[in-house]
Structure 1
Amino acid sequence: MAGLWGRRRREEREQQEAADADLARRARTALVTADERIRATGDELAFAAAELGEAPTEDLRVGLAAVKEHMSEAFHLHQLNHDEIPDTAEELRTRNARIIQLCDWAEDVLDERTDALQARIARVRQAPQILEQVRAESERLRERLPQARATVERLARLYSAEALQRVRVTADQAEQLLDFALHSADVSQRRREARRSEEANLALETATEAVRRAASILDGVDDFEIEAMRAQSTLAEVVADSRGDLVVARQGPQNPEVARAIADLEAALAALPGPGTPSDPFADLASLSAANAALDEAVAKARERAAHPVPSVAHVRHDMDAADHAIAVAGSLINGHRGWIGADARTRYAEAQRVRLDAEPLVTAEDTRERAQQLARRAAQLAQEALQLAQRDIDSSRPDDDDWGSWGGGPRGRSVSIGGGGFGGGLLGPVLGGVLLGGLVGDIFE
């Protein structure tokens, strides 16, 4: 047995030594890799600063400085592992783990900061091609200016000033943006030739954005004309549909809500501009569609009410009176025998009273009257359940011979007599029942 335990300890020691050796190897590799990465990143920083300027590379510069500071700790720990002072296995293990942690952190920081600059560096390297694209796109868009001006003039004759507010800029503004884009492109090229990288990059971004905005303006003019034509076509369909809906609505069930919706839709149709009048098809379509939808909703409600008539106030009051009667009967029984009534009957009774109160304010309005009737019937049902549960409690509490003149089974088995004449048919029966349920009988009869 001793040999077995010795062999196991030897195997465990050998496994730990192998793991420690692997950890030390990983620490040395991580230290070398991180140090080389720091040197390479320093070269990248110098190149990026030359390409982008100092401000865009500030984050990388700060990150590199922080990494160098923390890596000094890693080199110090590695030095401690190899000095003349003997170290325990645990000390070596702790230092190597810390070295790996610091090197991994350094790699992560440098990866994050350099990745953020890659896209900008690539863009700077492509600056000549981008400037060429800016100039070519500007010339292509400039060819669209005459057509855009003609379109704007035509739109001004067809549509109102309110409608044209959706095209908030003109072809003249697009032309100004294109001129500015070409000027910015020239500035970017001159600044790059003068090795003023940061200013060159800013001018390049400005030129690109100016071209994008000019294209958006010209596209917006074309898009507005198409959307306006589509709105006019849809408006014609809604007009025809609305006139048909008016005919149907006049022939269907009538009520004040339907009458108002008919009047509103007729007013919306009358407000539409006549042929040849500059208009706002978007606003007209929105107004007419809203009035048409309101009429559809009113007619649907009227048909629903015709199929399911709203109960009259008198009818609902009848149900309310029935609920009041049921609640009164249940309350009379419960209040007269409270000592014998359990939690279920009391709960149904309280809920019936609450539901009855909720129903009261809903009787007058036509939209809520049906709900009031439902609540009244629910209150009556709850009161009836409370009555049945209360009767069950009373029946289960009364002895079979209904003679409580002498009550055996009191506390400690003693016989109890109340007032000489018993309490089965007397006034103290329910009171004593409540005392029993409350657990006070032991105090009373001590």
Structure 2
Amino acid sequence: MIESRARAELPHDPGTRASGGWVIVAFAGLVSVVLAATSQAANATVVRPAEPLPSVSPRLTAAMQAELMKDVLPASPPITLTDAVTDSAGVLTDAEREDVLEAVDRLAGETDLRMFVVYIESFDGTDPVDWANASANQSGLRTDDLLLAIATADAEFGLSADSNVTLTDSQLRQVDSAVAAAVEDEQWAPAATEAADTVRQGVAGATSPLLVVGIALAAVLLLVALGFVLWRFAVPRLRPLLAQLRDRTPVAAAPAAGVYSDLTLDELDERAAVALVGIDDALKTSEQELGFARSELGGDATRDFELILAGAAGDVREAFAIRQALDVEREGASAGTPATPAGTVGAAPGDEREAGEDAAGPGAEAAAPESPEDAARRERLARIIALCDAAADTLDARTRAFDDLRRLQQRAPELLADVVTREAELSQRVAVTRSLLTQLDRRYPTGPLATVVGNPEQAELLLANAKEAVAAGNSALAAGQKAVAVAHARGAQNALGQAAVLLDAVDSTALHLRDAVGRLDKSIASLTQDVASARAVEGDLRVTLARAAAQASLKHVEVTRQGGDPLAGLQRIATAEAALDAALASVRDTTEVKARASALVRDTLVRVDAQLRQTGDFVATRRGAVGATARTRLAEAVRLADVARALHPTDPTAALGEAQEASAMVREAARLAREDADAVVAAAAAAAAEPDAEGAEGADANGPITGGMMLGGILLDPNLARSRKRARTARIGGGFGGGGFGGGRPTAHRKLGTVRAWWPASTR
């Protein structure tokens, strides 16, 4: 008997096929069991008691619970629910009460959710959602229980839902809209019936979560079984064919990074800049708010929030470091770019792009693949945005807990009264500071005073804004709007905080200049001695050149010393001394070299720290105008100074290089920050002078950004978005808000205007 070649090459294996069949049968049986079990579970979970009865805590009586909650909501304490409908305001007729009960019963009968309705006369200024959440927690409501609280005198309502409720935020917003329309028309019974019916209609046709999980699990098991069969039987037979196809098919180019692929590189770059500015503002505002809390409550109460802030700051430092590296690469690429072709001199980047499209034809740019360098830049810009989002999430997660710690709504009158007292004290300081600045201006040139020259005027505007905010806050209190009053109080607090920083900065600058004058004599004497030592070294060209440069520096400082800039003199002397020390290192003892380098590091870091404080104060009090580039340089200067301090004990020579780089970087940051602030103020002034001019950037809802809260980035937000759910995860304040811990994402909100996410072109 002759055996065919096919049977010889692929012998029959009954054991393998049998095992494969048993695997399929086993998985099919498992899928059937899972589907049956989940179906029964889904049917079992739909049934709910028709009569909604809350589960009240057995440990505390209602009186005891109200006593414990009085610090949270003292004006209108929460209540313990005993009925599905509680009409403390007496606004429902018997027929209307029956209508509400029927709507609640329909919801309980057709879904797994229950709703409780409470009518009271007034929340007494307490946030309606806070009141509803407190009553729900006090009554022991469960995950599937909702509480609708309506204050008839205030015409306000609050809807409380557990953080794990099956309703989505979109469904909760639909309920809010339905209730708001009825409450506005003072239709109290329809407000509750609409709420219950809206919830019922939203979830009545939804699939049971257990059934969805069961189906998903069954699908996964089926896919696993199918994959096993394919891997065991089909892949070995297809592998040779796939190899042949691979040999014939060219390898496709790697696609561009998928993150933010809908944005151009320039658009992504600007988005990263906006994210950096927003989170940097949020850190500054949160730090200021933390200072307020620390002075009120002590360091122990705020230690956890200090750790949270430090963690967010770590992410932001990494983001700024990435941005700095990208800026350095871009500057290097610009320096090595060939000359612009004739005919395109002075063309803007957008004009060059359009010219390229005209030359290459429509769609040429879109068809060109992104270079590896651009793809890498895109990835790092996306990383910057991710780090900013992570820092924002870190801060936002503790926003509500921080607000609870300060109990601002209960202390709103106290906060506003404190602002009045502090405003009067700071107003008296303005005249003294202006007089001091006049004295400094007579003695020193403009350079060392550039960051503080306008501080008294900006402080006056902030103090005026604070008084306006206090008046608005008191009016809100009189109207029973405590949340609005808190927003104004926070804005006033931040305005006073910035005003104090501005006035303190002038005092610090005066002390810094006075100290620089005293240290300049010592620096001149030290460099003069080094020059004398260098004369003894002959035949070394490097020493000769360094000595000549040092002599020129000494001569320049001597000529400009009277009426000159002592800080610039110190910088010039320190640079010359460092260069001369490096040239003389080969003829000096190692111990002496290290000692001299260590002394220079200490002197340089003292100067850098003062510059960092000055520039940091300038950015913090003009954050509404300073863009991403200046902030990036400032963050890099801080990083380099930290590196210098770390290296100082073990390698003072390397530390000196880092400290000198930090000094150069902070000077660059100060220059860019001043340019940003001047450009924004000038643009706003020009827009105000010509409001009808076409393309005037300042002609929008903001009005001119000439100073005060707008320039300081303090934008009131009395209509803060609050979470409807009982979990404390709301994002409130901070950043571009009136104040608060958190708020890492810049948003536009203010009754008096909105903020633009733009800065001068050089800072984007």
With normalisation by structure 1, the TM-score equals 0.45
The answer to which structure has the higher helix fraction is: 1
Higher relative contact order structure (alpha carbons within 8 Å, sequence separation ≥ 6): 2
Which protein has the larger Cα radius of gyration, Structure 1 or Structure 2?
1
